[in-house]
């Protein structure tokens, strides 16, 4: 299971706000594990302004 910490580590260094697709592209560019990419792909399609926005959205999909 992918934790919020795993996802936040995958996008470490990105400047927010970013869209879901920008988060996925950034994580892919860092060669993170596919299970983390899968979680990012399941996030609602919107802009994320803070790390907290991302972790809250993760809670809604799990």
Rg (CA), the chain: 10
Q: In the prediction, which pLDDT does 62 show? A: 58
Q: Give 18-61 pLDDT, tens digit per residue.
A: 999 999 999 999 999 999 999 999 999 999 999 999 999 999 88
Distance in angstroms (rounded) separating the CA atoms of residues 52 and 17: 12
Where are the alpha helices (H) located in 1-62, listed in sequence order? 4-10, 20-29, 34-42, 51-61
Name the phi and psi angles at 41, rounded to 5. Answer: -65, -25
Distance CA 33, CA 52 (A): 21
Residue with tokens 């990012």: 40
């Amino acid at each position: 299971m992918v934790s919020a910490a795993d996802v936040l580590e995958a996008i470490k260094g990105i400047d927010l706000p970013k869209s879901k697709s920008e988060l996925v592209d950034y994580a892919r560019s860092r060669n993170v594990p596919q299970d983390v990419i899968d979680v990012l792909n399941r996030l609602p399609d919107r802009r994320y302004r803070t790390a907290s926005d991302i972790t809250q959205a993760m809670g809604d999909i799990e």
